[in-house]
Amino acid sequence: MRRIISVLMENEPGALSRVVGLFSQRGYNIETLTVAPTEDATLSRLTLTTIGDDHKIEQITKHLNRLVDVVKLVDLTEGAHIERELMMVKVKASGAQRAEVKRCVDIFRGQIIDVTATVYTIQITGASDKLDAFLQAVGEAAILEVVRSGVSGIGRGEKVLSL
């Protein structure tokens, strides 16, 4: 099962490599990974998605917790949560294609953020499956380049992951 693990950790050199190293060292896989400092500059928020059964995920969270740089973590998929991913796509847009691509962008509530005579650069945010669906709708033949940020997530309601 796909899980989103969100980690609050010390914003220090080497902290990220410890987290990433743990995954390769123990044979766990990372599907996506995003990391950036929080409002408190001494802390970073890292979100990763991984696939595993309950036993594996329990081991992953225990081992992450064992890292001295990790302050707190939560498996967002255990409760109600919101996940978002940002994607930028360059697609061929000339002739009749141009209008078709524009319509598709509107349907997926994306924005065209850069334009040339033959190319649209599109930005779309949403859950990962929405981004997958957009790519499918546009069609592989039209796609020139895809950049995805990886999943970020936050719990719904009053629950917060903070110090």
Partner 1 sequence: MAEANCCICFLQEETEVEKLSGGDMLIRALADEGVECIFGYPGGAALHIYDAVFRQKKVKHILVRHEQAATHAADGYARSTGKTGVVLVTSGPGATNAITGIATAYMDSIPMVVISGQVVSERIGEDAFQETDMVGISRPIVKHSFLVKEQSKIPEIVKKAFHIASTGRPGPVVIDIPKDITNPVDKFDYEYPDKVKIRSYTPAGKGHSGQIKKAVQLLLSARRPMIYSGGGVIQGNASEYLTKLAKILNFPVTNTLMGLGAYPGSDRQFLGMLGMHGTVESNTAMHHADVILAVGARFDDRVTNTPGKFCPSAKIIHIDIDPASISKTVAADIPIVGAVDSVLSEMLELVKASDERPDTKALADWWTQIEAWRDRYSIQKNPNYSNEGMIKPQEVLRALYHVTRGDAFITSDVGQHQMFSAQYYLFDKPRRWINSGGLGTMGFGLPAAMGVQLAHRDAMVACVTGEGSIQMCIQELSTCTQYHLPIKIICVNNQALGMVKQWQDMQYDSRYSESLYEDSLPDFIKLVESYGHVGMKVTKREELIPRLEECFAMKDRCVFMDIYVDPSEHVYPMQVAPNGSMRDMWLSKTERT
| Min CB(7)–partner 1 separation in Å | 11
Tokens of 54: 């309950």
- Nearest Cα residue to 48 out of 62, 59, 61, 32: 32
Q: C-alpha angle 48/74/85, rounded to 5°? A: 35
| Min CB(3)–partner 1 separation in Å | 17
Q: How many residues bind partner 1 (CB under 8 A)?
A: 20
Footprint on residues 62-81 left by partner 1 (CB under 8 A): 62-63, 65-66, 68-71
16 or 104: whose CB is closer to partner 1? 16
| Min CB(159)–partner 1 separation in Å | 20
| Min CB(34)–partner 1 separation in Å | 20
| 120: CB partners within 8 A, 6+ apart | 90, 91, 93, 98, 101, 102, 105, 112, 114
| Min CB(56)–partner 1 separation in Å | 11
Segment contacting partner 1 (CB under 8 A): 8-16, 45-53, 121-129, 142-150?
8-16
Examine residue 59 and tell whether it contacts partner 1 (CB under 8 A): yes
Enumerate binding residues for partner 1 (CB under 8 A). 9-10, 13-14, 17-18, 21, 25, 55, 58-59, 62-63, 65-66, 68-71, 163
